[in-house]
Each structure stands twice: as structure tokens, then as C-alpha cells.
Chains A and B, each alone.
Chain A
Amino acid sequence: MSATASTHAATTHAGPHELGFMRTYIFSTDHKMIGRQFLLLGLFMMIIGGLLAMFVRWELAWPESPVPGMAWLWKDTGGVIDPPTYNMMFTMHATIMIFFVIMPVLAGGFGNFLIPLMIGARDMAFPFLNMLSFWVGAVAGVLMLAGFFVDGGHAAAGWTSYAPLSAVPDYTGVNWGQNLWCISLFVLGISSMMGAINYITTVINMRAPGMKMFRMPLVVWSLFITAILLLLALPVLTSAVAMLLFDRTLGTHWFLPSGGGEPLLWQHLFWFFGHPEVYILILPAMGIASEILPVFSRKPVFGYHAMAFSMIGIAFLSWVVYGHHMFVSGMNPALGMSFMITTMIIAVPSAIKTFNWLGTLWGGQIHFTVPMLNALAFVSMFVIGGLSGIFMASTPVDIFIQDTYFIVAHIHYVVFGGSIFGAFAAIYYWFPKIFGRMTNTLLGHLHFWPTFIFFNLTFFPMHIIGLAGHMRRIYNPMQYEFLVPLQHWNVLITISAFCLGLGQIPFVLNFCWSLVKGPKAPLNPWNANTLEWTAASPPPHLNWGPTLPTVYRGPYEYSSPEVSEDYLPQNRALGRAPAGRH
């Protein structure tokens, strides 16, 4: 480790000014630029995924009525969304949000930006592989977007793409859309694998002197565990989509009973990937909250080891719970019992984390900054998403709520209330370091409050209609007598969803304005302890000057009696001559 550090120290003098525009901004091997690229890719895709959700909500509130101003696109129907288009929209909304928004922003963006800076490394272990990871991911994004323009429309079999619906073009009328969906996810799987190998190697080998594993910030722990899950889970999806593509184009019968195949095989493969995937989406946000709560409570994180070990526990358990997606699928019901107990048990580490977040707030000096508000929203919304999961874990109750809006409510509390609030918290918190400028606080509040309020007004009522039996993925609820009395809820949800969408405008304004005109960020605007705040804002190529920081303590020594200030950076030497810098 120290050998690596000194080799790098010798090559420190290269700065961004010595590289051309292409090497600095486009084909950069700098982990920070790659992190920014992933972040911007994710935020751009979020606009598309969000707009798709708006169309879905329009259809559900006012079924089969023309969308204002959309007659130019859907000429045949005069602006009415038809059922195949509707199926395509919710399929692509979920696909884009999961694979091209949350994964690129949290794992790709913050993983790249934060890991080397927070462990005191100059870059990732394999910078060139890192660049490839982004560009292969970008190709996957282009392939995914291309599907909107092919004959027959984009994939319309749900983001879960259950075979045989997804495996035979005639069943959906979608041909190249579904093929491109498979190819894009295949390519994305390769991108994720390159990133995951890089993160794992970097965390294991490139920590600064003194940065023991149990001195790492919890966000680095979360990204490290996420990388391990990515490395092991994504290849399963990659193989499954290849098999699906072969069924569609080469005449194989992996999932088609007509040739001896088994439709449930797809579900086993998909959810064996899919459940670790849920934790891939939420773990980085848990790490982000664990970082931000101590900083703005001016207090050490409560139960650091419990926090780290509960994430390790989640990582192990996430492999043995996937069958809870399949309780009524026709899988042997005896298996349902095993998956029920593992699913119940995986709630325990989440509970431990929640109690420790509360413990962190207890006795603190809480500052309600914009990143803190988003982190608090993460904690409270994740609590609701976690608790609603217990209903589905109980197999008999799941018989009723499987495939209803209760599930839709649950997943949005976890991945929007959890992951997206985590992403917002991270963007507001690290923006000064990433782009060297402060964000606007007023716009931050104008973004946070409408988002928090309309998020709840959009997704909480989904629990209620779900319990009344409202199925997910239906085009027109008015076709069912028992759903007609619920329709006012759909209207309320849709209006709230539109307000939620409009609530993102202050975020876009804030992001763009701050990027160009925001006040220059100081080195350490939040008085935080972790190493990234000891580098310049934004950090130069290779992050630090000739000497790497040396780490003397854990990352959360806030309000320590050893010093007069309420923070004690990881690299400050006490009781002897300051080592290295400072």
C-alpha cells in the first residue's frame, strides 16, 4: 500500500491542464471526471424516466382520454395512449429508473467520485478500465434509447420481462424493442462488472496509510459491499437476458414450454439477480445517510460497527430471499416457507440501521441544511418502505397483495423515498467538492419540501388502493367494477405526481445555476472529518499534492473532547508534530 502511494507521489505533478480537452472531459481516466459523467448520464435519463411516469399517471387518472398536446405523436389515436404504448411506458419507466438512473448516479457517480477520495487514493486501481466502464455503460444507454424508435415500439413486458410474454414477439407485438432491451442490459452488465472489479480492488489495495477497514467511512463500506453484489449478481442477469435473446432470435427454448423449456426458470434467474439488485440500489443511499447524519448532528455515528456489520449481513442474506417475489408463481409452496423466514430475517439489519440513525440524532446539535433534510427524508421514507415489506414477507398476506398497487407503493418508498432521496442528499452534500461551487439553499428548500410532500401524496395512497385490490400494470381501472369507486384516488395520485414532477424544476435550476454561478466552495464547507474534504474543491488530477494524507482515527469524531472545535479530521495528528500537510 505504501509502495503504491509513493509511486503515485512521484507522478503527482500531472495536472488537468496538461491533458487535452478530450482526455480531460470525454475519454478521461480520472475517477472524478468519470464520476461526474455517470452522474450527468443518470440525471439526464431521470428526465426521460420521469416523463414516462407522467404519461402512465395521466392514463390511470383519465383513462383513454387524449393527453393534451400529444396528438402530434400519437396521430392514430388523436393523443390517446393505447394499451401497447402504455405497457411500453411503465416497462421503460422502471427499466430506465433502475438501470440508468439510480445505478449510474449512486454506484457509478458517487462510487467513482468518493471511493478514492475518501480512502486517500489518487485514483482507482484500474483507471483505463474505469473509463471503459463508463463508455460501455453509455453505449448501453444509447441502445436502450434506440428501442423507442424501432418498429413495434420498445419492450412492453414489464421491467421484469417475464417469459414467455417477453420470449415470443407475437405475444406482445414487440420485436426489436425487446431485443434491444436484452442487448442493452447485456452491455450494461459488462460495464457494471468492470466498475465492480475496480471498486473492490481499490478499496482492498489502495487505502492511505492508517486507513484500516474499520476506519473507512460507512459510505465507502456501502459502496464496497454494493460492488461485491454487482460483481456476483449482474452476471446472472447478463446470462438470463442472453438466454432470452436466444429464445427470441435463435429458436432456443430456455423459457418456452413448447420446446421443453421452463417459464419459471426466467423468474428464478431474474430474481436471483433482482433481489440483490434492490440492495444495490439502497445500500449506497444507506451509506450516504450514515455520512450526512453525523456531520449535521455534529456527533459520531451511533454504532459504527453495527452499521458496517448490518450491511455485511444484508449482503449475505440478499442471496437467499429472492423467492419472495415468487410466492404465487407456481413455485413449490414449500419453498415459500424457507423464503419467508429469510425475508423476515433480512428486515433485522435494516431495523438495526434505522435505530442507529436515530441514535446518531440523539443528543446531537442538529443543523437542518438541505443535504440533512434529504438524509432525514431518506431515513423516514425508508422506514415506511421497510415496514410495508413485512406484509409481503408473510406468505399468506402476500397472496392478496402480490401484483397490487401495495407492491408499487412499497417499491417506490424504497427506491424513491430511499435511493432517490439518498441521491439528492448526496448531490447537495458533495456538490461543493464535485464541482467546486456551493448550491443555492433557497432553491434547495424549494426543491426539497414539494418533493417530500408530493412524494408522500403520490405514493402513500397507493397502499390504500392496493389493499382494495387495485392491480398494478393495468391500463384502465374503469374496466373493473370493484375499482370504479377507487378512481378518485387515482386522480389524486396523478395530480400529486404531476406536482412531484414540477417540484424537480428548482433542482434543475439549482444544479445548472450553481454549476456556473454558484459561490466558490471552500475546502471543507461542512466542517467534516473525512479525507475528501482535505483535497481542493474540486480536487485536482491525482487528488492531493506530493504527500497523501495519513489517517489517525475513524471518520466520525465530531464534538470530541480532545479538541476545541466540534470536528476532528481523520488525517489530523494530535500530540505530535503535524505529519505531512496542514
Chain B
Amino acid sequence: MLSWWLPENVSTYGAEIDWLFELIYYITGVTFVLVAVAMITFLIRYRARPGGKAKFTHGNTTLEIVWTVVPALILVVLTFLSVPAWSRIKMHVPDSDVQIRVTAKQFNWEVTYPGPDGLFDTADDRTFDNEIHFPVGKPIVVHLRSKDVIHSLFVPSFRFKQDAVPGHDIPQWFEVTKPGKYEVPCAELCGFGHSGMRGWAYAHTPEDYAKWLAANVGAPAAAAAGQPAAGTKAPGKGKK
């Protein structure tokens, strides 16, 4: 049997999402139990009896105020508790020296590394199909694009999901804590090959990542020299 819970979380902000999920789970769970118990109790207790007479009442203003204000307060508090996580995950892309461009197309993820010069759209870019390699322990910035229709990059274990929209370049980020190989499905219907559009995310230790990078892309020359001067700078890079 499967656990009745979310899949393993391996990202830094995933814990914040899971905490909110659990909070809502308990709030809604308790609410459901209270409503269900009240309903079943009323159905048994007030079932029609011969000669019985129903209470003649049209309502109660105090009760109306209570059951308007209490849910409203809980929901507003939930909103404010959700704001910091949302802000951190979606509104602030951290600085990072790992910049990856993922271009979605029917029915593949094209994963582009800027190469030793640290710049996209230069001759030393390297592109892989359906494989995203990156190190654990630091933020990774992903620039999402699409060549045709809308796709959605979904990594369940990272709590990561973002649509790739043609005509847009959407910078997003995640930071993974545990090395491993994670499945990357497309979550937005993108045509007859949507099902099976799937890649793999390889989270390496920093040493393994350096080795992979040197062997497949080329060691980043600009890393020691600081910021690059020319070429297409990744839009999210350097933004605080």
C-alpha cells in the first residue's frame, strides 16, 4: 500500500509547502469531522417520529455572525501564512552560478547549459534531451521556454511546477538537498504525446557535478573571473 501522504521531499522549500499542506489537512480534517458528526447526529436524533413536532425557528443572528467570522479569520490567517513561502519560491529568484535553460517542445525537454563562457546563445552551449544535471546544496536557476505549446515542468520530489509558455522566458529555481535521480513529467496537456513526455533530473554531489560538467559541457572558465561581460545574459541571473 502506498503512503497516504506526499512523495518524499528533497528540496529546501519543499518543507514549507509540506508544512502548509499538513496545516490545511488538519484544519479541513477537523472541520469535516465536526460537520459530519453534527450531520449524522442530527439525522439520527431528529428523524421523524409519529406525533413529533419540529422546532419552529428561523435562525439565530449570533450563530450566523460566529460561523461567518470564525471561518473568515481562519482563512485570512491561512492566506498570510502562505504568503512568505509563495514569495520565496516564485517571486525571488536567488543568485546562482548554475543557470540552465529548459526548452519544452512536443514531446521533449531540451536542456541547455551555457558552456564555459557562462552565456546562453553562444557557440559553446551544450544541449541534452530529457536530462537535467545539477549539484545539490545550492540554488539552481531554470529558465523555462517553449517552442510550440504550453508544457509544465513538474518534479514531484522538488515540489516544483511551472508552466513553460511559448513567447515567455520564465526564470524559476530550486535547491535540492539529496543526490539522486528524479522523474520530471510534463504536467500540462501538450498533445497526443503528452503522456510519456518525461525527463530525469540528476542531482549530483558537488564533486560529481564538477566531473560531469567537465566531461560533458566544459568547466566554467568565467567562474573564477567573476561576471561575464558579453553575450545573452540569463535574465534571472544576479537578480536578488
Contact = CB atoms under 8 A, between A and B. Distances in A.
A345 B74 CA distance: 10
B183 A390 contact: no
25 contacts: A83-B192, A162-B189, A165-B191, A298-B48, A299-B55, A299-B57, A303-B59, A305-B59, A306-B64, A340-B82, A347-B75, A351-B71, A362-B55, A365-B53, A391-B28, A396-B20, A396-B82, A399-B17, A469-B6, A469-B154, A473-B195, A476-B195, A479-B196, A479-B198, A489-B2
Q: Which 7 A-B pairs have the closest CB atoms?
A: A257-B167, A363-B55, A475-B195, A469-B156, A303-B59, A333-B90, A344-B75
Contact of B188 (A162, A336, A486): A162
A271 to B, nearest CB: 14
A329 B17 CA distance: 18
Interface stretch (B29-37, B96-104, B210-218): B29-37
B201 interface: no
Given A333-B91, A396-B86, A400-B159, A475 B194 contact: yes
B223 interface: no
Contacts of A479: 195-196, 198
A461 B198 CA distance: 24
Interface in B177-199: 183, 185-196, 198
Nearest to B22: A397
B128 interface: no
Contacts of A464: 2, 4
A299 B54 contact: yes
Nearest to B29: A387
A235 interface: no
Interface residues of B, number: 84
A452 B13 CA distance: 39
A474 B194 CA distance: 7
A359 interface: yes
A355 interface: yes
Interface in A447-487: 464, 467-469, 471, 473-476, 479-482, 485-486
Interface of B, helix, strand, loop or mixed by DSSP: mixed
Interface of B: 2, 4-7, 16-17, 20-21, 24-25, 27-28, 31-32, 35-36, 38-39, 42-43, 46-49, 52-60, 63-64, 67-68, 71-72, 75-76, 78-79, 82-83, 85-87, 89-91, 106, 148-150, 152, 154, 156, 159-168, 170, 183, 185-196, 198
Nearest to B6: A467
Interface in A334-350: 334, 336-337, 340-341, 344-345, 347-348
A306 B148 contact: no
A344 B189 contact: no
A339 to B, nearest CB: 11
A402 B54 contact: no
A399 B159 contact: yes
A546 interface: no
Given A387-B31, A480-B183, 19 more contacts: A162-B150, A162-B188, A165-B150, A171-B191, A302-B60, A330-B162, A336-B90, A344-B79, A364-B42, A364-B46, A393-B75, A396-B86, A397-B20, A399-B17, A403-B187, A403-B188, A480-B198, A482-B7, A559-B56
Contacts of A393: 75, 78
B86 A340 contact: yes
B56 A300 contact: yes
A368 interface: yes
Interface stretch (A376-384, A493-501, A571-579): A376-384
A361 B42 contact: yes
Interface residues of A, number: 96
A361 B83 CA distance: 38
B72 A365 contact: no
Given A341-B79, A397-B21, A365 B163 contact: no
B56 A299 contact: yes
B238 to A, nearest CB: 19
A303 B64 CA distance: 8
A300 B39 contact: no
A510 interface: no
Contacts of B38: 358
Contact of B78 (A301, A352, A394): A394
Given A394-B20, A394-B78, A355 B59 contact: no
B47 A368 contact: yes
Nearest to A368: B47
A388 interface: yes
Given A165-B149, A345-B72, A328 B54 contact: no
B161 A403 contact: yes
Interface in A398-454: 399-400, 402-404
Nearest to A170: B148
A482 B63 contact: no
Nearest to B59: A303
A263 B185 contact: no
Nearest to A351: B71
A330 B57 contact: no
A367 B38 CA distance: 17
A306 B7 contact: no
B162 A481 contact: no
A304 interface: yes
Contacts of B76: 341, 344-345
A138 to B, nearest CB: 30
Q: Which of A397, A469, A556 has the largest number of chain B CB atoms within 10 A?
A: A397
